[in-house]
Amino acid sequence: MKFWSSQYVFQYDWETVASAAWRKYPNPLKPEVTGIDILGRAVSDDGVLKTTRVIRTEWRIPRWATSLIGLENPSYALEHSEVSAKSKQMLLKTTNLNCRNFVSVHETLQYTPDPVDSTRTLMEQSVCISVRGVPLISYMESILTSTFSFNADKVCVVFYH
């Protein structure tokens, strides 16, 4: 099991960043994300918007490679989110739905106002990756973890698009 985390400071207030987070897809900078559908949405008694979405991705890799590593195209992930306009907190938790027999990916994103400067927003991202039932488990986990690290910069750029 591998863990990875990062932080990023957006030079915009929480309302702007939270709004952009909802509208970041579709986006030409992340063409692998081909669809997002809302499965459920509710507002709790304390005013927290809770949403469940399914995210569809299509990785542009050769068919022989997908069969070799067991990747299914398209792939799906389930996202649970909680947004509190009152406390200015946005929490997104995403997990893969495909290939779960050999890989589990759990990602958490949290957006909060910067405690030092309310005109900025902190994003904390963490990922837990677990590979099982295949050769070279540690190597595979390291590759997936480094992919998240590499793509973290892209996620931030997507907001500015």
Taking residues 68-79, what's their average pLDDT? 79
pLDDT (tens digit, 9 = 90+) per residue, 79-116?
A: 999 999 999 999 999 999 988 888 889 999 999 999 99
Quote the radius of gyration of the chain (alpha carbons, Å). Answer: 17
Domain containing 13 equals 2-160
User: Residue 65 — very low, low, confident or very high, per pLDDT cuts 50/70/90?
Assistant: low
pTM of the predicted protein model: 0.86
Taking residues 21-36, what's their average pLDDT? 83
Name the more confident of 143 and 125.
Answer: 125
- CATH code of the domain covering residue 10: 3.30.530.20
CA pseudo-torsion sign 73, 57, 95, 155? positive
Q: SS in 3 state form for 102-118?
A: CEEEEEEEEEEECCCCC
Q: Which residue has the tokens 């200015």?
A: 88
> How many folded domains does the chain comprise?
1
Q: Which residues pair with 114 in a beta bridge?
A: none
**Number of C-alpha atoms within 13 angstroms, CB side, residue 74?**
13
Please give the pLDDT value at position 158.
Answer: 58
Instruction: Kindly tell me if the per-residue pLDDT of 44 is higher than 60.
Output: yes
